[in-house]
Structure 1
Amino acid sequence: MTAFKSMASLVLSGLLLLPTVASAETKPISMNELLKTVKSQSSLESKENKEREAEFLADRNNQQALLEKARAQLAQETARGDTLKATFDNNDVLLTELTETLRQRSGTLGEMFGVLRQYAGEFKGLFSASQNAVKFPERDALLTKLAESKELPSTAELEGFWYTILQQIVASGETSKANAIVVYGEGNEAQTEVTLVGEFNAIADGKYVTYVPQTGKFEELSRQPSTNITTLVSPFETTADSYQPLFVDPSRGVILSLLVQSPTVKERVDQGGIVGYIILGMGLIGALIAVACYLRLLVIGGKMRKQAKSEEVLKSNPLGEVIEAYQSHKGSNLEDLEAKLDEIIMRNAPRIERFVGSIKLFASVAPLLGLLGTVMGMIGTFQAITLFGTGDPKLMAGGISEALVTTMLGLVVAIPLLFFYTLVHSKARRLVQTLEEQSAGFIARYQEKLHSSEA
């Protein structure tokens, strides 16, 4: 039966190979050759199958070896894990015992170290914001360690903390110099010598500077204070062996920054806009007219005083015209003399009071223009509130402040012009009154002459 199966297999293989052999050979082959070919192919396939079986067996043996090795490693790691777990449990128990021992031995020192960490964190913030931090850059590391460390500080660290506090106290009460980076208004940086006035102010190159903790640099103020303050900076900076006066900001720069932010006179005027400039122009014109009128009245008054002291008639002054009219009048007609003198007074009074009324006009119009500017500014403020709402109080405060500038300018112009008007008007009225008094005196004198001649 087995031989029959083998023969069937060979015949079947021969039949399967027959098309291939037939396609390879162009001529028909005999059955013997076909049988030889089938036998050779069968032996070749048998050999390949044996090689494959050998490879399969080798791989199976290799896989078995790898499995045994993996099982050995697993057992080893399992034993190591058990050992580590036992070690961890022992260490945990030991740590608990040591922690309890530390707590018992430290006693109240634990609270003290907690307070130390708290104060170290607070002083770190204070010292970092201090301008004297540029002189002691190394203390930040110590304060950071004390504030963040969970371990007990050493004696050296406690002494270092105490020394840092003492160092800051000393630096806060003395004037010293330190090399630091100064950032100027254009963004340029330079390493220069900065004079530190305790914890209050810092100056460099004759100007006030402010310390920025975030960058560790000094920045020049966008605008220096007024001249009466800055004139003392350079002598104080250059003199080291003697006492020198200096304006110090006790709020550590807050007041100085407010002074810098407050607008100058020119900026105030600019806030008034075109109406503010018109008010100032009117004030200038009114002041010039007042000065010119006052000088002209001084000249006229001087000529009239000179005429009052002289026996001769002097030309180009109102009192001289009155005297000349009195001396030139002849006859007994008193009404003609009165009319002549009144005509001289009425003719000279407008010339004496010329442009005096314009001063009062400017003084009256200036507040009205200021009110006009305020109304215009308030309209702009309410328009801004309509667009942006009332969420930002600075927006409303700034608009109202700018609106009130014109009212301020109007009052600033009107008040001096009213004084000028009163002064000039009083001067003019005194001159006209002098002419009237002299004229009345001449009429009375002439009337006496008439009565004496009739008698």
Structure 2
Amino acid sequence: MNGFKTLAAALLAGLVMASPAQAESPASLSELLKSVKSESIVESKENKQREAEFRANRDQQAALLQKARAELQSVTEQGDQLKATFDENDKELTDLSETLRQRSGTLGEMFGVVRQYAGEFKGLFSASQNAVQFPERDATLTKLAESKELPSTEELEAFWHTILQQIVVSGNTTSTPATVVYGEGKEDVRNVTLIGEFNAIADGKYVTYVPQTGKFEELSRQPSNTIMANVPGFEAASGTYEPLFIDPSRGVILSLLVQSPTVQERIDQGGIVGYVILAMGAVGALIALFCYLRLTLIGGKMRKQAKSDTVIKGNPLGEIMEAYLSHKGNNLEDLEAKLDEVILRNAPSIERFVGSIKLFASVAPLLGLLGTVMGMIGTFQAITLFGTGDPKLMAGGISEALVTTMLGLVVAIPLLFFYTLVHSKSRRLVQTLEEQSAGFIARYQEKLHAADS
């Protein structure tokens, strides 16, 4: 009995634990037993339902597993098939590549040569002034130079035609409209005459082609008039031959000629010392001209006097004759002294300003040396401040040094010739006076000997 009570208490405790939501406890053991049986029936139904769901899920999972295994098998077989196909294609590709290499042979080398020469000709043709006539060929050469495939027959023919076209136009003179930049950056479309690969002219002036802009630019300074004299006639010619100066270096020599300084620019490089030297040269030349004309005039009067027996005023020889006629009664020593006095009085007048020519001829090289020293001092100062990295910084001082020396020699050499010419002319005149004086004395002495005898 006690065991039954214990069992009932345990079932009751289990019922309470299984159904916490139940608010009331069974009143008796009979009710407890009924409650337990009803609960057991409910749990049995639930368990059967769960077992049925589990079996259904198990069958479904088995079906899914079987399907997944089938799909895995299919994919595995497909992968093996694709791998076999890949291996076959790879082997076939290797065989085809080898066949292509063997069959292409020298075509591969030709392709490399075509690409190399297409790149080189592209640079040459782009720098050519004839590029303005054929702008489309740049795209053809660029395609060949950058291509990764063998060129087609049409592309090779186009390359060949481009080269032949350049050869032909390099020997022809043609006119084409092109943009010309002139003045202070202004530009205009003009008719440019292209002389092969050498030079180009527009509106009677030389122009140069600038590949970076594809335009022509007028030279900042045109060549000398001797060179420019043939340009208008050459531009106006139609089907005839006309002379023209061309630059075989494609404008390099012409640009150097343009950059070379003119005479005025050379003189400006000499600075103040150079202008002083030129001023002295001009003054010396004027003095030499004045002396030469004056001596020529005096010499003409003396020759006229030599042909006349009467005294002509205004010339040294006339004064000697006058002194001889007025003192021919005196003794020989007095007459000789009087004639010497006339010669000494006229000699400085004849040689007046002649010495200044020699002075200017001597001072000019010294001033040139002074300019040289000043220019070298400026050069060394520039070297001290800025070093020797930029030769342009030293060019000004060196130019001044060399130009002043050149100007000093240019002035001194002609002045020395002028001085020699004028000095010799003045000495001849003085010598003529001395000869005539000696003749008068000899004549007077003959008269004295005749009177004594």
Query: What TM-score bracket applies, with the shorter chain setting the length?
Result: 0.7 to 0.9
1:355 is aligned to 353
Tell me the CA shift for residue 100 of structure 1. 2.5
Alignment of 1:335-346 (within 5 A): 335-346=333-344
2:108 is equivalent to residue 110 of structure 1: yes
- Kindly state the Cα deviation for residue 442 of structure 1 after the two structures are TM-superposed: 0.1
Instruction: Give 2:300's aligned residue.
Output: 302
TM-score by length of 1: 0.80
CA distances 1:267-296 after superposition (whole Å, capped 9, x unpaired): 111110000000000000000000011001
Q: How far apart, in 1, do the equivalents of 2:425 and 2:93 lie?
A: 104
Of 219, 222, 226 in structure 2, the residue corresponding to residue 221 of structure 1 is 219
Measured against aligned partners, the alpha-carbon deviations of 1:62-113 in whole angstroms (never above 9, x if no partner) come to: xxxxxxxxxxxxx9xxx9xx89x97988776665444323212211111112
Pairwise CA distance, 1:265: 0.5
List gaps (5 residues or longer) in structure 1: 7-74
Give the unaligned 5+ runs of structure 2. Answer: 1-15, 25-70
The Cα of 1:348 is off from its aligned counterpart by: 0.8
Distance 1:339 1:426 in 2: 26
Change (3 A) 1:368 1:145: same
Native 8 Å contact 1:185 1:221 kept in 2: no
- Other structure's SS at 1:321 match: helix
Task: Give the alignment of 1:20-39 within 5 angstroms.
Answer: none
* Partner Cα separation in structure 2 for residue 305 and residue 132 of structure 1: 74
CA deviation digits over 1:188-210, x for unaligned, max 9?
Answer: 01011111111111111111110
- Distance in 2, Cα, partners of 1:278 & 1:91: 94
The one-letter code matched in structure 2 to 1:377 is G
Report 1:132-151 matches (<5 A). 132-151=130-149
Q: How many residues of Structure 1 are paired with residues of Structure 2 in the alignment?
A: 383
Letter in 2 for 1:185: G
Q: 1:239 aligns with which of 232, 237, 240?
A: 237
Q: Give the drift of 1:333.
A: 1.1
Is 2:270–2:399's contact at 8 Å kept on the other side of the alignment? no
- Aligned-pair CA distance for 1:398: 4.8
Distance 2:103 2:183 in 1: 59
C-alpha deviation, 1:185, in angstroms:
2.7
CA–CA distance in structure 2, aligned partners of residues 373 and 418 of structure 1: 21
Question: Do the aligned residues in 2 keep the contact of 1:200 with 1:252 (CA within 8 Å)?
Answer: yes
Query: What is the correspondence of 1:175-254 to structure 2 with a 5 Å cutoff?
Result: 175-254=173-252
User: Which residue pairs with 1:413 in the alignment?
Assistant: 411
Cα deviation for residue 399 of structure 1 reads: 3.0
Separation (CA, whole Å) in 2 of partners of 1:430 and 1:222 = 55
- List per-residue Cα deviations over 1:345-365 (Å, max 9, x = no partner): 111111111100000000000
Give 1:401 deviation, angstroms: 2.8
Aligned to 1:29: none
**Could you tell me how far apart the structure 2 residues matched to 1:360 and 1:399 are?**
30
Within 5 Å, give how 1:266-277 maps onto structure 2. Answer: 266-277=264-275
CA distance, structure 1, for counterparts of residue 336 and residue 91 of structure 2: 132
CA distance in 2 between counterparts of 1:330 and 1:163 reads 108
- 1:368 pairs with one of 350, 366, 369: 366
* Aligned residues with identical type, % of pairs: 80
Q: CA deviation at 1:5?
A: 8.7
Residue 3 (structure 1) shift: 6.6
Structure 2 CA distance for partners of 1:445 and 1:255, relative to 1, 3 Å: same
Q: How many Å apart are 1:451 and its aligned residue?
A: 1.2
Question: Larger deviation: 200-209 or 238-247?
Answer: 238-247
SS in 1 for 2:223: coil
Equivalent residues in 2 for 1:251-330, closer than 5 Å: 251-330=249-328
2:394 pairs with one of 393, 396, 405: 396
- Residues 386 and 434 of structure 1: CA distance in aligned 2, closer, same or farther (over 3 Å): same
- 1:392 Cα deviation (Å)? 2.8
> 8 Å contact 1:373–1:407 — kept in the other structure?
yes
| 2:371 and 2:400 in contact (8 A); partners too | no
Q: What's the TM-score, normalizing by structure 2?
A: 0.80
Q: Distance in 1 between matches of 2:422 and 2:126?
A: 65
Q: Is the 8 A contact 1:180 1:192 kept in 2?
A: yes
Distance in structure 2 (CA, Å) of the matches to 1:452 and 1:106: 129
Q: Secondary structure at the match of 1:189?
A: strand
| Residues 247, 254 of structure 2: 8 Å contact kept | yes
The 1:99/1:332 distance shift into structure 2, 3 A limit, reads same
RMSD: 2.3
